[in-house]
Chains A and B, each alone.
Chain A
C-alpha cells in the first residue's frame, strides 16, 4: 500500500469529486435554483455568492442545543448526512467511469442516498420539539412514498443494460442513444421522486414553514444547520448526477473536458426541471403525496419496466 494511493484516496474524498467539488457545485446549483426561481416569480433573486455567504454566516453563529435532546446524536447527525452524500458521489461517473465502480453499485448509491434522509428523521426526532417530531414523521412517511417509484424507475435502464453497474448503464446508453427516448416515463418518475427526496415543492411538507415552522430542523442552529443545508445542496448534485448517468448516458462516450462540460450541462438541465416543478405548484399534503407516489408514480414506473423487458426481448 503505497503512500500515493492513500494521498490519491484523500484527494478523491476531499477535493474531487468529493466534498470540495460537491460543496462548490452544490452551492452553484443552489444559486441557480434560487435565481431562476426568482426570475420565474418576477423577483430579482440573490447574487451568485449568496449560498456561500449564507453558509459562512450560519457557521459563525452560535450553536444552541436544547437541553432535552440527545446531545451526541444532535451534534453529529449533520456530518453523517454530508458523509453519506459524499460516499454516494464516489460511485457515480462524472465523466469516463466512476472512481469506485463495481457490479451492483446502483443499489449501493440508492441506499447511501437514504442516509441523509435517515439523518433528517433522527435529527427531528432527537430534537424533542413537537414541530420537529411532526416534521420527522413526515420525512419518514415521504421516504416510504418516493423511494419505491425511484427504485423502480432506476431498474428500467438497468434491465436494458443488463447490469447493476452505473458506469455500465451509462456506457450502454452512450452506445445505443436510441434507447434514451424510450425511457422518458421512467425519467419523469425519477425527476418527481428526486424532487420528493430533496424535499422541494410540491413535496416539501416535512419542513413546510407555514405549518410546522422549520420541520425536522426547527431546533437546529448555526454550524449544524449550515451542514444540513450543505448536505441538501450536495444531494441535489448527486441526484442530478445519478439521473444523468442512468438516464442520459453520462459522458456519451466523450472524454476529458468535453465530457465534463457535458456533465455540467446535463446536471444543469435536470436542476432546471426541478426548479420549474418547484415554481409551478403548490405544496400538497403528505397524504396526497403518498397517494400520488403509490397510485401514479409507482404504476408508471412499473409500466416502464414492463416496456423495457419487452424491448429487451424483442431487440435482444
Chain B
C-alpha cells in the first residue's frame, strides 16, 4: 500500500491548541511522525523583563490557563529566594492547598479530554460535570475559577476562613468519591482498556534519555516527583504516595493521573487540618537585590522550572520559564511510530500537552499589535461597518 502523509494540526478537532504533527501513514499504521511547534508565541519572557516583579506574577499566570498557579508559585519562590524573604507558614500551606486543587482540576480536565479523544463522550461529560466542584473550590479560595492569582510577593492574597475550610472539606469528599468511581470506570471498562493498553508505549530507558517528566514519565516507571525529591513549601510535612506505573502505555498514564487525584484529595485534607495560625504575607521590598535563583515545581503536567535573575531594580533582568510539556514533546514521535492512526489523538493527549505553556517566548504578532492600537470605539465602529455591509445594522444598539 502506498504511503499517505497527512497533517495533524495546527487546526484539528482532536487538538485543543495549535501544534502540528506531520504523519506518514502506511494504511492505518504510522510510519513516521514529526512534531512542529511554535504557533502560539506571545513573548512573555521578553515582556517579563519590562515589567515589575509584582506585574510579572500576573503576567506569568497567563503562561497557561490550567497550571496558572504552578507558574506563579515557581516564579515567586525564585524571587523570594533572591530577596531572602522567608514567607509565613500559613502562606505556604495555602499555596500548597491551591496547588493541589489545581492538580485535581487539571487531571480531571485531562481525563475528560482523553475520554473525548477515544470517543467516550459520556465519561467526558460526567468528568467535566464533577470538575465543577473543584472549580467552585478554587473560586472560593482565590475568587476566580481559572486565574486565581492567590500568590503575591511575600505570601498569599487571601486567607482561608473557617467557613471556606468547611466548604472545601465537604467538596473534597465529593471529589474523592467521584474520582474513585472514575478510577474503576477507566480501569475496568472494556472499550477503554482496548483503546489504552499497549498504546503509545514509551520504555523507561527512552523516557530517561528524552527527559520525560511528570505523569508521563511516572507511567513509564520513572519515580520522579519534585514534591518528593526536592520538597518545597510544606510538602516535606505531608504524607502522600508517589504514584508510578510500569505499563509504559496510555493506560498507565490514565492510572497515574486518577490515582494522583485521589492523593491530592488526601493532601488537601491534611493541609486544611494542619493550617497554622499566623499572618498570610510579609512585606517584601519592591526592589529585589542582585542575584539569581533556579527552582523546580511539580506542576500537574510535570516538572516546571523557572530561572530568575535580579539586578537590584524593581524589574527582573531575566525570567526563564520551561513548562513541563516542552520536555515531553520529543517523546511523542517515539510513542506514535508503529502505532495506529486512530490512537494519534489519544497518545498526543496522554502527555497532557499545553501548547501555550511551551510556546511562551516570543513577540506579539502583527495582527495583535495592530488591534492593540485600536481603541474600543474604533473596534466597535469597524464591527458596525462590517455588519452593515452584510445587511444588518447594529448602530442603533446602545452599550450600557
Contacts and interface: CB of A to CB of B under 8 A. Distances in A.
Interface of A: 40-43, 130-131, 133-134, 137-138, 201-202, 204-205, 208-213, 279-288
A281 B185 CA distance: 11
Interface residues of B, number: 32
A42 B126 contact: yes
A205 B123 CA distance: 18
B379 interface: no
Contacts, number: 81
Contact of B342 (A205, A279, A280): A205
A293 to B, nearest CB: 14
Given A205-B342, A282-B195, A284-B194, A210 B122 contact: no
A282 B4 contact: no
Contact of A43 (B125, B195, B343): B125
A42 B4 contact: no
Contacts of B125: 41-43
Contacts of B191: 202, 281-284
B342 A286 contact: yes
Given A134-B6, A282-B119, 4 more contacts: A134-B28, A202-B191, A212-B341, A284-B195
B240 interface: no
B189 A282 contact: yes
A282 B192 contact: yes
A202 B193 CA distance: 13
Interface stretch (B110-118, B149-157, B324-332, B359-367): B110-118
Nearest to B130: A42
B51 interface: no
Contacts of A134: 4, 6, 25, 28, 341
A212 B340 CA distance: 12
A224 B361 CA distance: 44
Interface in B190-219: 191-192, 194-195
Contacts of B342: 205, 208, 211, 283, 285-286
Contacts of B345: 210-211
A286 B194 contact: no
A157 B116 CA distance: 39
Contacts of B13: 209-210, 213
Nearest to A208: B119
18 contacts: A42-B125, A130-B4, A134-B25, A134-B341, A202-B119, A209-B14, A210-B345, A211-B344, A212-B341, A279-B122, A282-B194, A282-B195, A283-B120, A283-B191, A284-B191, A285-B340, A287-B28, A288-B194
Contact of B129 (A40, A42, A285, A287): A42
B121 interface: yes
B145 interface: no
Interface string B126-147: 1001000000000000000000
Interface in B5-21: 5-6, 12-14
8 closest pairs, A vs B, by CB?
A283-B119, A210-B14, A282-B120, A282-B191, A130-B6, A41-B125, A210-B345, A285-B342
Would you call the interface of chain B mostly helix, strand, loop, or mixed? helix
A33 to B, nearest CB: 13
A206 to B, nearest CB: 11
A282 B118 contact: yes
A205 B126 CA distance: 22
Contacts of B27: 137
A195 B284 CA distance: 65
A41 B340 contact: no
Interface in B234-288: none
B6 A40 contact: no
A157 to B, nearest CB: 29
Given A134-B25, A287-B340, A204 B119 contact: yes
A131 B342 CA distance: 12
A144 to B, nearest CB: 14
A138 B342 CA distance: 11
Given A210-B345, A282-B195, A41 B122 contact: yes
Contacts of B195: 282-285
Contacts of A282: 115, 118-120, 123, 189, 191-192, 194-195
Nearest to A210: B14
Contacts of A43: 125
Contacts of A209: 13-14
Interface in B301-316: none
Most buried by B among A131, A282, A287: A282
A212 B117 CA distance: 11
Given A134-B25, A209-B13, A201 B119 contact: yes
B12 to A, nearest CB: 7
A284 B189 CA distance: 12
A286 B25 CA distance: 15
A281 B6 contact: no
Contacts of A201: 119, 121
Contacts of B28: 134, 137-138, 286-287
Interface string B337-365: 00011111100000000000000000000
Identify the interface centre among A43, A133, A281: most chain B CB within 10 Å of its CB.
A281
Nearest to A213: B13
A45 to B, nearest CB: 11
Contacts of B129: 42
Nearest to A209: B13
Nearest to B4: A130
